[in-house]
Structure 1
């Protein structure tokens, strides 16, 4: 199993965030990323929210989403300079908050700076109040996101991009620098059937959060014709390879059997040192596939 890390510290989720994360900063994040890089983990992540109203929750986060979210471009740019191999994943970037050319320029620059390590995890967004304060439409965000993904695909790796769609229309511009990967991976966030359809038709992977494996099997069975190399990236909460390595191996094996190809590691951890121990313990498992 290919495993990355669901980066600690960068977001504070009620009921999930450890006490030590509250006062930790970029030094701890960088050391974790460097340690994961040496061990052969595949990626680090960073989420995006511009400004969160208190008390926002979701079915997967019944205690609330919290209000601390580090900016992904700033965070991943810093980590790019501290690591050599880790992929730099936005999880997720809200499409409605940005023009596709803004994403192409900013993350294309990061792709060039990092030697081609950017993965764009993208989503339509769900926090209506955030859309409102940014002055962007909440209604119709699904079709707008689809058009944005098509526009991104047409522009991310192009010096002179051209796209003519329903919501976005551009040509006659030079984007320099731009991404050096011929095809920057686009992973679609969201646990709905609509999100999976968007991922299969427009993207390179699907990030449904941490669904139960029976639901995942059912969802994937509805889309048997997925693109070659299509990734299914699912989290698993409360993994503890230090204390229960056999249990973690069983969990990862079940996830792989259900169709998961990559896992953002989110372990049980009581301290910064304990988090590093968990990385070591996971990397020692037989079904850990290093980068």
Structure 2
């Protein structure tokens, strides 16, 4: 089981984000992502929201850094850790826009992109951008097929009901022959979409028992990633046993990868927590083998 990070500062969800994140500077963030890279964490995340309705900010939060800019910054500060969108909303973009922008990121990072995608859940944001809310599911399915055909070639072709293109050059493109595509969501439709069209599933807002039942109802392909979240923030320094137990429970539920939120009082304390968390996963893996 691999561990990724729900990157602090860049997304601040009430009840999950810590107080210190509000005033954190870029260099504090850089120190965290550099250490995560050195400690062997699998990926860093960044989400996408263009504008959150004020009425929803209390639940969703209002701080969402742009994923392309942010992950590009992370790429320049790290050497091996993967860069995961969690998620890009498919309905806000043409597939070739995603292929060009994030294909460039894949090239700049030496092939470290994980493209997390989602259908979207904010009708007001769709309306703001002139995107199609009613048909977002069908268009997302087709956009994923288009992305699969287009991410890793400079001469993409696709012929669908919503997207058609040929005779175009998109240069640069991704350097990975197959960019991993993870699908976010909380419904059976999102899981089926992930199994049929993607390489992994990133559920949110679901309990472990719900996730276990959903995974048991479909055939999971070989090599498919189940990317589960710790939910509440982990405290590996003060609660090492509880942290290990939480990770073991997620592994038992089917997680191949876990996105970790980490509690901290400051950027320095966050770095200490990361070091403790890296040691915790080593202990979990050792005990599992024993």
Q: In which range does the TM-score fall when normalised by the shorter chain?
A: over 0.9
1:75–1:288 Cα change, 3 Å = farther
Give the gaps of 5 or more residues in structure 2.
none
Aligned equivalent of 2:244 = 249
Matched residues in 2 for 1:210 and 1:287: separation?
25
Aligned equivalent of 2:258 = 263
**Which of 232, 235, 239 in structure 1 is aligned with 2:229?**
235
Number of aligned residue pairs: give it: 283
TM-score by length of 2: 0.95
Give the gaps of 5 or more residues in structure 1.
58-62
Matched residues in 1 for 2:186 and 2:94: separation?
24
**Deviations 1:65-94 (CA, angstroms, capped at 9, x unpaired):** 011110000000011010000100000000
Which is richer in helix?
Answer: 2
2:87–2:118: 8 Å Cα contact kept in structure 1?
A: yes
For residue 287 of structure 1, give the secondary structure of its aligned residue in structure 2.
Answer: helix
Aligned equivalent of 1:287 = 284
TM-score by length of 1: 0.95
Alignment of 1:95-106 (within 5 A): 95-106=90-101
Matched residues in 2 for 1:11 and 1:157: separation?
29
Moved over 6 A (4+): none
The answer to whether residue 84 in structure 2 is matched with residue 111 in structure 1 is no
Matched residues in 2 for 1:145 and 1:261: separation?
25
Moved more, 48-57 or 185-194: 48-57
Q: CA RMSD in A?
A: 1.3
**Which of 161, 169, 172 in structure 2 is aligned with 1:177?**
172
Shift, 1:211, TM fit:
2.7
Matched residues in 2 for 1:164 and 1:26: separation?
43
Matched residues in 2 for 1:288 and 1:74: separation?
34
2:233–2:260: 8 Å Cα contact kept in structure 1?
A: no
Moved more, 105-114 or 18-27: 18-27
1:96–1:141: 8 Å Cα contact kept in structure 2?
A: yes
Aligned equivalent of 1:60 = none
Aligned equivalent of 1:19 = 19
